[in-house]
Amino acid sequence: MKKELIALALESSCDETSVAVVKNGREVLSNIISSQIDLHKKFGGVVPEVASRKHLENISYVIDEGLEKANVTFKDIDIIGVTYGPGLAGALLVGLSTAKALAYSLNIPLIGVNHIEGHIYSNFIEYKELEPPFLSLVVSGGHTHLVYMKDYGEYEVLGKTRDDAAGEAFDKVARAIGLGYPGGPLIDKLSKQGNKDAIPFPRTYLENDSLDFSFSGLKSAVLNYLNNCKMKDIPIVDEDVAASFQQAVIDVLVDKTIKAAQRLDVKTIAIAGGVAANTGLRELLHQRAKGEGFKLMIPSMSLCTDNAAMIGCTAYYNYLNGYVADMHLNAVPNLKIGEKYKRV
Ligand code: KG4
Ligand code: ZN
């Protein structure tokens, strides 16, 4: 094998068109992220049809920019990595069909990547020395998972949400207090001016030994609180609602993560996904992990939210493990962690 392996990676599973060039899995030569947030803002959330159309409009330009920024051409690319699930079907298909066309015309391997696994791999970019096994908390707009990463490509899901994902709860509560989309960063910012102990929102732990999550009860509790205040003419302090809600989410996330790490007897915890950008979560997990003797890995903000660099990193390791796809690879909107496709 060549000493250098350069991956061109495409990510289009939701509302970011992203293209990255990644060398040997962990060296990011470029990571271009074209966000559609402004386009979806006026609808209060991602509109799937609008997202796919915008990906289609953008993707060639983003690829050109990715190559240019990395100072490479198509001739330098060894593999194409692409997110094929989970995500919005139409959005995924834009990245996937572009990736297939590139792999076919350049005659190089096509590597399918699971978006959630991609989030976990963002830690390998940030921490060059990181190796499995470790525990990962993946918290994003669509997913909340506690995953034991045993080895590259080998995962055990220890717990997941039974209803809303953590990011989804942030987005819905933000909408209820009129903050706009996406809600997570706005609630995070507003929380800094609020009192996290002002309103005793519930923490849902489920059964005693469960590592699953549930956030829909908390979301309803916030909505009930707001309605109740409005009916009784009690003034609502948005900052306190945001801070108290955020604290209720992160208390449960942190408690369960520490419990899982103790149960597994691992040394390292790595967090990932859009909600991992939350400053409250980062701070509390940092404190608790330190107190309990765990090493904590947190990717920088831009690697937490959707990006193609993490897809390029995962594609590299999938390739080393022999996971080359053929032209039948299809988008899988509900793809599970650890689910594999037929290798060529
Ligand atoms: O990973 P991501 O970019 O996309 C998905 O794969 O879902 O995550 C987006 C989610 C959104 O729900 C957004 O509100 C949330 O991550 N998010 C945050 C923060 N930044 C993004 N949630 C809480 N605090 C933040 N600072
Ligand atoms: Zn994501």
| Top-confidence residue, 41 or 306 | 306
pLDDT tops 70 at residue 2: no
Reported confidence tier of residue 342, pLDDT bands at 50, 70, 90: confident
Statement to judge: residues 158 and 298 lie in one domain: yes
| Ligand 1 site, residue 188, Cβ cutoff 6 A | yes
Q: Atom 7 (ligand 1): residue with closest C-alpha?
A: 141
Provide the domain limits for residue 81. Answer: 6-121+304-320
Is residue 331 over pLDDT 90? yes
Mutate to test the pocket of ligand 1, among 140, 282, 285 (most ligand atoms within 8 A of CB): 140
On whether residue 335 sits in a domain, the answer given is no
pLDDT of residue 182: 87
Confidence of residue 249 (pLDDT cuts 50, 70, 90): very high
Domain presence at residue 200: yes
Measured from the Cα of 273, ligand 1's closest atom is: 1
Return the CATH number at 225: 3.30.420.40
Q: Please tell me whether residues 286 and 158 are part of one structural domain.
A: yes
Q: Quick check: 138 pLDDT over 70?
A: yes
Tens-digit pLDDT profile for residues 83-107: 999 999 999 999 999 999 999 999 9
Tell me the mean pLDDT in the region 322-344.
95
**Please, which contacts does 202-209 make with residues 24 or more away whose CB atoms are closer than 8 Å?**
202/248, 203/248, 203/251, 203/252, 204/252, 205/252, 205/255, 205/256, 206/162
Q: Are residues 114 and 251 in the same domain?
A: no
Q: What's the average model confidence in pLDDT over 229-248?
A: 97
The alpha carbon of residue 122 and the mean position of all alpha carbons in its chain are separated, in whole angstroms, by 9
Res 144 pLDDT > 90: yes
216-226 mean pLDDT? 97
* 140 CA distance to ligand 2 middle (Å): 6
296 lies in the same domain as 313: no
Q: What is the mean pLDDT of the chain?
A: 95
- Mean pLDDT calculated for residue range 317-328: 97
Residue ranges with strand state E in 12-114 = 16-23, 27-35, 79-85, 110-114
Q: Is the pLDDT of residue 82 over 80?
A: yes
122 in contact with ligand 1, CB cutoff 6 A:
no
Confidence band for 273, pLDDT divided at 50, 70 and 90: very high
Q: Does the pLDDT of residue 60 top 80, yes or no? A: yes
Is 330 domain-assigned? no
Query: Do 53 and 144 lie in a common domain?
Result: no
Q: Which of 122, 275, 337 to mutate to test the pocket of ligand 1 (most atoms within 8 A of CB)?
A: 275
- Asked whether residue 207 is assigned to any structural domain, the reply reads yes
**What pLDDT is attached to residue 69?**
98
Is the shortest distance between the CB of 214 and ligand 1 below 6 Å? no
What pLDDT does residue 294 have? 98
Residue whose Cα lies nearest atom 18 of ligand 1: it is 184
Do 72 and 12 belong together in one domain? yes
Residue nearest to atom 21 of ligand 1 (CA): 274
Give tens-digit pLDDT for 105-134. Answer: 999 999 999 999 999 999 999 999 999 999
Render pLDDT for 208-219 as a digit per residue (tens, 0 to 9): 999 999 999 999
pLDDT tens readout for residues 36-49? 888 878 787 788 88
Whether residue 254 is found in the same domain as residue 162: yes
Encoded tokens for 192: 């800094």
Any atom of ligand 1 within 6 Å of the Cβ of 140: yes
**Residues 313 and 220 occupy one common structural domain:** no
Mean pLDDT along residues 316-325 = 97
Q: What mean pLDDT is predicted for residues 278-295?
A: 97
Question: 190: CA distance to ligand 2 center in Å?
Answer: 23
118 Cβ closer than 6 Å to some ligand 1 atom: no
Residues 185 and 261 in one domain: yes
Spatial separation of the C-alpha atoms in residues 150 and 131, rounded to whole Å: 10
Percent with pLDDT over 90 in the chain: 89
Expressed in angstroms and rounded, the spacing between residue 206 Cα and the centre of ligand 2 is 25
The per-residue pLDDT for 40 is: 79
Of all protein residues, whose CA lies closest to atom 1 belonging to ligand 1? 274
In this structure, the answer to whether residues 165 and 296 fall within a common structural domain is: yes
| Residues 60 and 194 occupy one common structural domain | no
Share of the chain above pLDDT 70, in %: 99
The reported pLDDT for the residue numbered 1 is: 58
Amino acid at 229: C
- Residue 333 within any structural domain of the chain: no
> Does residue 341 sit within a domain?
no
- Is residue 51 domain-shared with residue 136, that is, in the same domain? no
Does 329 reside within a domain?
Answer: no
Residue 1 belongs to some domain of the structure: no
**Average pLDDT of the segment spanning 18-23:** 98
Number of domains the chain is built from? 2
